[in-house]
Amino acid sequence: MKNIWHIAFLFFILLSCDDDKDCCPSGSDDNEVTIPLSLYQKIYKTTSDIYIENGFVYINTDGVPDHKSPYFLGTQWESEKYVPYDGSNPFVTNFNFNPNRISEGNIRFKIPISPKKSSTTTPTSMGPIGVSLNGVPFYNQYAGGGAPLSNEINSFDQYNGHPAPGRGGGGGRYHYHMEPFWLTQNYGKNTLLGFLLDGFPIYGPEENGSELNSSDLDNHHGHSHPTSDFPGGVYHYHITSDAPYLNGVGYYGAPGTVNE
Ligand SMILES: [Zn+2]
Ligand SMILES: [Zn+2]
């Protein structure tokens, strides 16, 4: 009698598993993941501990890069962190040293820890759209007024970033629109580079030893498959050297918020 109940119980488990798609991850686009705190803790330059509360992770940074830059000239960090432009950025054809200088901010990211595909696409806005491992924000593929980045690219330094115009309220904010060379040089071209505001992870421009470009990705600039951080599969963005570089039509999921 006991065995019959045992078998019936197993049968019930099998049936309910069949009915409940959440219990049997298929590795599809809609595969839900919850990002562990340990992965957010790869973000190593923060102004307070990274913590999770009510389904969101909170990440606070000052946005000042941990690498050197020409844009430290005349700032409080000049003696340790200023270097002239060294001519090494392959995207820069004629370096234009812009008048903006790096300043310290207080950027507070609130990002969902269980990102999922949204039925509507929220376009990215100007200002931070994500956070990189060294706490520097990612910006989207546009210059002011929705113009293409073409002219701005010449003001990118040897680490492929530059500060925003003005002072205060995001002025002087150093940011990356494209591949953050400091991170890919130090951690590899295929590594986790950070997270967009919708919570989906961002990876480098290479995968399995070959370079990706935008045509390998969907119109949000991502795709879904297993990665070393997510053996069960995850949707993720890739940075590519062709436009739109990091994000296409908007967030794949519903974005969290950022305050600065
Ligand atoms: Zn910019
Ligand atoms: Zn990929």
CA 163–ligand 1 middle distance (angstroms): 7
Contact 98, 69 (CB under 8 A): no
Domain membership of residue 69 as a residue range: 33-259
**Cα(228) to centroid(ligand 1), Å:** 31
**Which ligand is located closest to the Cα atom of residue 178?**
1
Residue 1 counted as domain residue: no
What pLDDT shows up at residue 26? 40
> Count of residues for the chain?
260
DSSP classification of residue 151: G
Q: Is residue 44 part of a domain?
A: yes
Distances (CA, A) of 156 to 104, 134, 245: 19, 17, 14
16: left (phi over 0), alpha (psi -120 to 50) or beta: alpha
For the cut 90, the answer to whether the pLDDT of residue 120 exceeds it is yes
DSSP letter (8 states) at residue 124? P
CA of 153 to the centre of ligand 2 (A): 25
- pLDDT digits 0-9 by tens, 122-178: 999 999 999 999 999 999 999 988 899 988 999 999 999 999 987 767 789 999 999
The identity of residue 200, as a single letter, is F
Distance separating alpha carbons of residues 6 and 221, to the nearest angstrom: 49
Q: Report CA(223)–ligand 2 centroid distance (Å).
A: 6
CA 7 → CA 4, 12, 20, 23, 24, distances in Å?
5, 9, 20, 20, 21
According to the model, what pLDDT value does residue 4 have?
58
Please, are residues 255 and 197 in contact by the beta-carbon 8 Å criterion? yes
Q: How many CA atoms lie within 13 A of 138 on its CB side?
A: 29
For residue 113, the tally of other CB atoms under 10 A from its CB is 20
What is the domain count for the chain? 1
Q: Is residue 152 part of a domain?
A: yes
Say if 15 falls within a structural domain.
no
Q: How far is the CA of 204 from the centre of ligand 2 (A)?
A: 9
Separation of CA 234 and ligand 2 centre (Å) = 9
In a domain, 118, yes or no: yes
- The C-alpha atoms of residue 126 and residue 138 are separated, in whole angstroms, by 10
Is residue 133 one of the residues assigned to a domain?
Answer: yes
Expressed in angstroms and rounded, the spacing between residue 150 Cα and the centre of ligand 1 is 11
Whole-model pTM: value is 0.88
Nearest ligand by distance to the CA of 164: 1
Q: Is residue 3 part of a domain?
A: no
77 in helix, strand or coil?
coil
Q: Would 238 be classed as within a structural domain? A: yes
Name the band, by pLDDT with cuts 50, 70 and 90, for residue 102.
very high
Q: What are phi and psi of 114, to 5 degrees?
A: -120, 75
